[in-house]
Amino acid sequence: MNLRYKINTAIFLAATFGYGIISLIHAYADNGSVSSLEQRALGELPSFSLGSLATGAFIQDFEQYFNDHLPLRTSMAKTGALIMTWKGLPDEEAILVQQGGDNTALRLTGDNDMEQLVQESQDTQYLIYKEQAYTLFKYSNAAAELYAETLNRFRSEVDSAARVYSMLVPTSSEFIDHDHYSQLSDSQKEALGHINELLSSGIQQIDAYSALDQHKEEDIYFRTDHHWTALGAYYAYSEFMKTVGEEAVPLSTFAQGEIDDFLGSSYKATLSYKLKSHPDVITYYQPADSYSYTRYYTNGKKVEGKVVDPSYAKEDIGLYSVFLGGDFPWGEIHTGQDNGKSIVVIKDSYANAFIPYLIPHFESIYYIDPRFYKGSLTAFIEVHHATDVLFLNNSTVARTKGIAELIDQLL
């Protein structure tokens, strides 16, 4: 064995074991709990027990914790995305990115079996086409039916005098402008239609789908994020007001502003350089009417602010936080209206861009996010004397049972 070989071997082993030791030290010392790049909670150091060791749960949880707290993890993820550009993948017309712990990308061609590509994976999949990311939709009949059952149960348990509405919002993948690639997603129109068929007659349906479909050529969804834009939310708001028999306030009456260089959740999930090279612009509309807004944290802390404020748009929590300041267990808005109308919006984050438009129409506006709220929905409705209740959720409710189960636990 020559000297050069020994030296190379020694350097390789030193680098490998050195990085491993540094990683272990960093993993134990690092107390970061959230990845600002991925906008998700990082794995926590698991508690050791003989039982968890015997079942393998401890090893699995520790592996997740270790992977989440590697030194330079964020930099390495970005470098990996850059290497994909050297392989030529982002130069293809479209690619399919699968998010299941590790990102993988597949070139899409006319020879792909689109149905098989979706059926073979249970992970979240993104289609990146024409510098836009689409979160693919896979229908679950069980999830759709559970959501309808949960809303019907709510309707039966609240005061019959309260008006209850359901707004189901399609995501951008419903409007993929390519016959071949659109086959990657199940029909959201049919999925949402099935939920509507099962809803009680005591729940009035808001046809956000048709409102968005009529404007699908406009910028109603972000290209690098899974949310709709404030413009898309405005069209849904207009449909809501038409359904309740009121006129929507013209968009021109709101003060308009813009936030440049928005790279949203879809970019952070895929780290696609196609998306990075074409960031979004967030256009926001601030209501002219007077109001007070208070949002409540999980620890009970309350903070007053504005419903639309560009100062909320920070990288660590996401620029979409310009609307309502982000996601909170609940919040309340009191306006200058004197009409005795009070609405509670039970919502996901799509409603954040929607709720500010309600200020000219209600005396009080409350929102509840079932992902964080711990109280009773029916008690909340009663205590706050709600005249109206709006369930506003995107089509995820017809894909997974999560939101329905959370709402059910609050009844």
Per domain, the residue ranges of the chain are 3-68, 73-135, 141-409
At residue 21, the pLDDT reads: 61
Q: Which helix (DSSP H) or strand (DSSP E) does residue 74 occupy?
A: helix 73-87
Task: Categorize the per-residue pLDDT at 116 as very low, low, confident or very high, splitting at 50, 70 and 90.
Answer: very low
**Poorest-confidence range of 18-27, 164-173, 183-192, 294-303?**
18-27
At residue 159, the pLDDT reads: 92
pLDDT at residue 8 greater than cutoff 80: no
- Contact assessment for residue 254 and residue 285, using Cβ atoms and an 8 Å cutoff: yes
- The strand pairing partners of 304, in sequence order, are 294
C-alpha count within 13 angstroms, C-beta hemisphere, residue 331: 24
**DSSP secondary structure string, 230-269?**
HHHHHHHHHHHHHHHT-PPPPGGGSEEEEEEEE--HHHHH
pLDDT at residue 38 greater than cutoff 60: no
Q: What is the pTM of this model?
A: 0.78
pLDDT tens string 220-235:
999 999 999 999 999 9
At residue 342, the pLDDT reads: 98
**Residue 332 corresponds to which amino acid?**
E
Nearest Cα neighbor of 194 from 399, 408, 409, 403 is 399
pLDDT at residue 409 greater than cutoff 50: yes
Give per-residue burial for 19-55: e unless 16+ CB within 10 Å, then b: eeeebeebbeebeeeebebbbeebbeebeeeeebeee
Q: What share of the chain is helix, strand, coil (3-state, %, to 5)?
A: 40, 20, 35
pLDDT higher for 36 or 44? 44
Q: Is 18 helix (H, G, I), strand (E, B) or coil?
A: helix
pLDDT at residue 117 greater than cutoff 50: no
- Contact assessment for residue 96 and residue 127, using Cβ atoms and an 8 Å cutoff: yes
Task: Categorize the per-residue pLDDT at 87 as very low, low, confident or very high, splitting at 50, 70 and 90.
Answer: very low
Taking residues 338-359, what's their average pLDDT?
97
Mean pLDDT score across all residues of the chain: 83
At residue 92, the pLDDT reads: 56
At residue 243, the pLDDT reads: 96
The C-alpha atoms of residue 141 and residue 211 are separated, in whole angstroms, by: 24
At residue 299, the pLDDT reads: 87
At residue 196, the pLDDT reads: 97
At residue 389, the pLDDT reads: 98
At residue 62, the pLDDT reads: 58
pLDDT tens string 131-165:
999 999 999 999 999 999 999 999 999 999 999 99
Nearest Cα neighbor of 171 from 113, 213, 122, 214 is 213
Query: Phi, psi at residue 338, to the nearest 5°?
Result: -135, 65
Task: Categorize the per-residue pLDDT at 388 as very low, low, confident or very high, splitting at 50, 70 and 90.
Answer: very high
The C-alpha atoms of residue 152 and residue 350 are separated, in whole angstroms, by: 22
Task: Categorize the per-residue pLDDT at 47 as very low, low, confident or very high, splitting at 50, 70 and 90.
Answer: confident
pLDDT higher for 78 or 287? 287
At residue 86, the pLDDT reads: 41
**Residue 217 corresponds to which amino acid?**
E
- Contact assessment for residue 36 and residue 316, using Cβ atoms and an 8 Å cutoff: yes
Taking residues 190-209, what's their average pLDDT?
97
Taking residues 27-40, what's their average pLDDT?
52
pLDDT higher for 362 or 20? 362
Q: Which two tokens stand for residue 73?
A: 């993890």
pLDDT at residue 24 greater than cutoff 60: no
**120: buried, middle or exposed (CB in 10 Å: 19+, 13-18, 0-12)?**
exposed
At residue 316, the pLDDT reads: 76
Task: Categorize the per-residue pLDDT at 101 as very low, low, confident or very high, splitting at 50, 70 and 90.
Answer: very low
Task: Categorize the per-residue pLDDT at 296 as very low, low, confident or very high, splitting at 50, 70 and 90.
Answer: very high
pLDDT at residue 349 greater than cutoff 70: yes
The C-alpha atoms of residue 221 and residue 173 are separated, in whole angstroms, by: 10
At residue 126, the pLDDT reads: 92
Task: Categorize the per-residue pLDDT at 318 as very low, low, confident or very high, splitting at 50, 70 and 90.
Answer: confident
pLDDT tens string 372-382:
999 999 999 99
291-296, strands of its sheet edge to edge? 203-206, 163-169, 388-394, 342-347, 364-368, 330-335, 291-296, 302-305
At residue 153, the pLDDT reads: 97
C-alpha count within 13 angstroms, C-beta hemisphere, residue 219: 11
At residue 83, the pLDDT reads: 45
Beta strands 291-296; 302-305: pairing state = antiparallel
